[in-house]
A and B are shown apart, each in its own frame.
Chain A
Amino acid sequence: MNNKLRRSMLYIPANNPAMIQDAFIYGADTILFDLEDSIAISEKDAARELLIEALNSLNFNNTEIAVRINSLDSKFGLKDLKSIVPIGPDIIRIPKIETKEQIIKIDKLITKLERKANLQPGFIEIMAMIETAKGVLNLEKIVASSERLSALTLGAEDLTTDMGIKRTSLGRELFLTRSKIALVAAAYKINAIDTVFSDFNDLNGLKKETLQSKELGFTGKAVIHPRQVDIVNHVFTPSQEEIEDAKEIVRQASQAEEFGKGVIAVKGKMVDLPILNRAKEIINKYEKREVIK
């Protein structure tokens, strides 16, 4: 499993200096600078230049940096890629991925640009945005097509538009897609990042939706407002009790192995291999990090 903590990804429009400069202070695991939908067509060039200068100059306190570029089908996508790759962000989020061929093409392009910029080939990860029905159907082929692909993400507004349906607060219309994204991501040991919750004044609604996403198997969620970060981080972080339980399971399992025992019971519940593995993963991912404090 990709061991990076990607609970919250905070969208920051790349044409706003004040928001860019403050982006790291809200505690999001990933800052997601946006060159796509939040930028007016007439400002695409300005946003790109501003982001290049910002990434070359500012210190974001070691927060993971992602950049959402424009679709490579648009006249801005290739320019974005050529400008952003040499700076070496951690991830590039590619919108409207529908086929494995798109990913293969992008992977090759990034490799070429990385070599030119003296970056280790494979250094930059890809996050594929699934925003069309065709993309949902091709999910597995898309994920299998590149070692760089480290996260899947759902673009709900475009997907519902593509399907000719309305997005609702209950989210039933996205159930199948969300489940499939989480399932494929789990199968390929990559992150599954849920779509944004647009009403940033409705924090209860955000919590409810984030809990549902977690239940389905998502590992994180994109956020559009700093006030959403804490809730999303909290939902995707195991409690101190869960961490302690995980440590106890691993400790007792290790003891049992020494004495040649098979299945054990911890706190009155049977612990078999999948539960032990889950406990190890919790410890591996969260125990040594400050996020659980």
Chain B
Amino acid sequence: MKINKTASSGSMESSDIMITVSPAKEKGIIIELVSDVEELFGSKIKKVIRDTIKEFEIENIKVMANDKGALDYAIRARTKTAILRALKECSLNE
């Protein structure tokens, strides 16, 4: 699956995460993460994002993630919503 648009989901409030997905110029899943707990949990947060993206079978995507202490369920939900919004925007334009 492929996204052609940028879309976001989430917020900068405590316990949330702001996820912005956009089409990648490079190949693969590229994740840029900003988090106060990056040192401790950065790789885990990225894994949750990556696993969620894989469920959609999207191969090339850029993700900007600004984490405010989100738990896994919130990371999954925000990533899913951002992707669904990006896909929806694509289908509207098709």
Contact = CB atoms under 8 A, between A and B. Distances in A.
Interface of A: 16-18, 21, 45-46, 49-50, 52-54, 56-58
14 contacts: A17-B15, A45-B84, A46-B9, A46-B10, A50-B73, A52-B77, A53-B73, A53-B74, A53-B76, A53-B77, A56-B73, A57-B71, A57-B73, A58-B73
A40 to B, nearest CB: 12
A252 B74 CA distance: 56
Contacts of A45: 81, 84-85
A16 B78 CA distance: 11
Contacts of A50: 73-74, 77-78, 81
Interface in B63-92: 70-74, 76-78, 80-81, 84-85
Contact of A18 (B16, B72, B77): B16
Contact of A54 (B10, B16, B73): B73
A16 B68 CA distance: 12
Contacts of B76: 53
Contact of A17 (B74, B80, B81, B85): B74
Contacts of B74: 17, 50, 53-54
B93 interface: no
Nearest to B14: A18
Question: Which range contains the number of B residues in contact with the other chain?
Answer: 10 to 19
A18 B16 CA distance: 7
B38 interface: no
B13 interface: yes
Contacts of B15: 17-18, 21
A134 to B, nearest CB: 35
B80 A49 contact: yes
Nearest to A19: B15
Given A18-B14, A18-B15, A46 B78 contact: yes
Which of A17, A21, A45, A50 lies at the interface centre, i.e. has the most chain B CB atoms within 10 A of its CB? Answer: A17
A83 to B, nearest CB: 12
B37 to A, nearest CB: 15
Contacts of B81: 45-46, 49-50
Interface in B1-36: 9-10, 13-16
Contacts of B71: 17, 21, 57-58
A53 B77 CA distance: 6
Given A46-B81, A49-B80, A57 B16 contact: no
Contact of A46 (B13, B14, B72, B77): B77
Contacts of B80: 49, 53
Contacts of B77: 46, 49-50, 52-54
B70 to A, nearest CB: 6
A19 to B, nearest CB: 9
